[in-house]
Each structure stands twice: as structure tokens, then as C-alpha cells.
Amino acid sequence: MQTEAIVSVHGYGTSYQRSIEITMKGAYALTYRPLPDTLTIKESPIEGLGLYAKQDIPQGTDLGMSHFHWGEMVCRTPLGAFYNHSETPNVIKVTRDSRFFLVTLKDILAGEEITCLYTFYEV
């Protein structure tokens, strides 16, 4: 007998879902979701691929962790890998300990590209 449950996990400034499959032996498998359900990746007129809102997202929404420090390096998460630069961004990177999170600066409409001011390197 197998049972599957979707569990919402709300952590320190991030939220995502994991699918847990439970078998009679008590084993389980976790499924990682690299982006929030509200975002998708598609072609961007700015550069290559970009992040887009699948639905309206209110101002002040924490979209999740975009980058983190690993020793001396700054590493990207999938969320941090696909947003594009803009001088008039609709999200900002907020620092919490050694991690960076994307937070919306304004209401973002469905279909709108997620953009941020690049701060880790020059454009």
C-alpha cells in the first residue's frame, strides 16, 4: 500500500512544496521544486531566458532564496539563475545572514518578467 501527500514547507523566508510517498516499509521519497509555483521560465526580450509570473503576485512577496555564500563564493539557486537585470526592477535582493532572497517591490501582473538590479557583477 502506498500513500502520497503534498506537504507545504514554510521555512526561513522561503516556501515550497514537497511530495512525499510513503510505503508500507516506511520509506519515502522527497521531490524538490526549484521555483515557486507562481513563477516559470521562458524566453526574454532582455536576454536569453527570464523568470515570469504565472499569476498576479502582490508587493512585498518573498519569492525565495536566490543566492547564498559558500565559503568565499556566491552561489545561485535556480531562482537566482534566471532573473534578468533592469535599471527599473520589480524585485530586490534582501540579505539574511549568508543568503539572499528576492522580494517584490510592487504588484507584479501575470505574464510580467521578474527583474532585479544586478549587484554581484557589472553589466
pLDDT per position as a tens digit, 63-119? 999 998 988 898 989 898 899 999 999 999 999 998 999 999 999 999 999 999 887
User: What's residue 54's pLDDT?
Assistant: 97
Q: Write phi, then psi, for 84 (nearest 5 degrees).
A: -105, 160
User: Cα–Cα distances in Å, from 35 out to 2, 54, 55, 96?
Assistant: 27, 11, 14, 19
SS3 79: helix
Q: Write phi, then psi, for 110 (nearest 5 degrees).
A: -55, 135
Q: Which three cell numbers stand for residue 89?
A: 526592477
**pTM over cut 0.85:** no
CATH superfamily, region 37-123: SET domain (2.170.270.10)
Integer Cα distance of 19 and 81 in angstroms: 24
**Per-residue pLDDT tens for 20-77?**
444 444 555 555 678 888 999 999 999 999 999 999 999 999 999 999 898 889 898 9
Integer Cα distance of 40 and 58 in angstroms: 17
For the chain, the structural domain boundaries read 1-33, 37-123
The letter for the amino acid at 28 is Y
SS3 77: coil
Is 81 within 8 Å of 64 (Cβ atoms)? no
